[in-house]
Structure 1
Amino acid sequence: MPESLFNAVLLIAGLMFAVAFILTMWRILIGPNSLDRLIGLDGLVAMIQCMFATLICWTMDTTIANAMMVVALLGFISSVSVARFRKRDGS
């Protein structure tokens, strides 16, 4: 693949991540209840992992793969803990 096309595809991916980040942050901040905020947080964690994968593709450097594992584990643990100890809103 030519380098200019490769960079264009990565630029488009970066712009899509920026739009998705804004929409996800809106869901986290404006969400009507805590479950909507939790879903937004899960989406944010998945988006961060995808951004790391895109960065690996762009730089051809796999040293941040460990950071991807840490983000995945923290996202899973936070989702499980919030879901386990969540009370109904308004009670």
Structure 2
Amino acid sequence: METIFTISLLMMVVASILISYRFVKGPSIVDRLTALDLMSYNLIAIIALYAALSEDTLLIDAAVVLSLIAFLGTLAFAYYLINQSKP
């Protein structure tokens, strides 16, 4: 079972590297925002996998807090984009 968690963690790290590429090379601000959201949710998945691997319940609390912050950041940025496009 530990091998499955390790392989999953490695796959999530590779996905984070690919997401980072899209964040840097994104042609528009919306692409970069999407990549940043995906990166934060990928980090939440990595924390959850590591919490399951190490059997540490405190890390799940950190993942929940990070997901709330990421969601609020997405809402704030979407509000900014909507208000910026209005004359």
Who is 1:74 aligned against? 69
> Which is helix-richer, 1 or 2?
2
TM-score (norm 2): 0.88
Shift of 1:52: 1.1
Who is 1:15 aligned against? 10
Who is 1:50 aligned against? 45
Q: Which amino acid aligns with 2:17?
A: I
Who is 2:30 aligned against? 35
Of structures 1 and 2, the larger Rg is shown by 1
In the alignment, the residues of structure 2 paired with residue 44 and residue 18 of structure 1 have an alpha-carbon distance, to the nearest angstrom, of 10
Gaps of 5+ in 1: 1-5
How many pairs were matched up?
Answer: 83
Superposed CA RMSD in Å reads 1.2
Q: Moved runs in structure 1, 4+ residues, more than 4 A?
A: none
TM-score (norm 1): 0.84
Who is 1:63 aligned against? 58
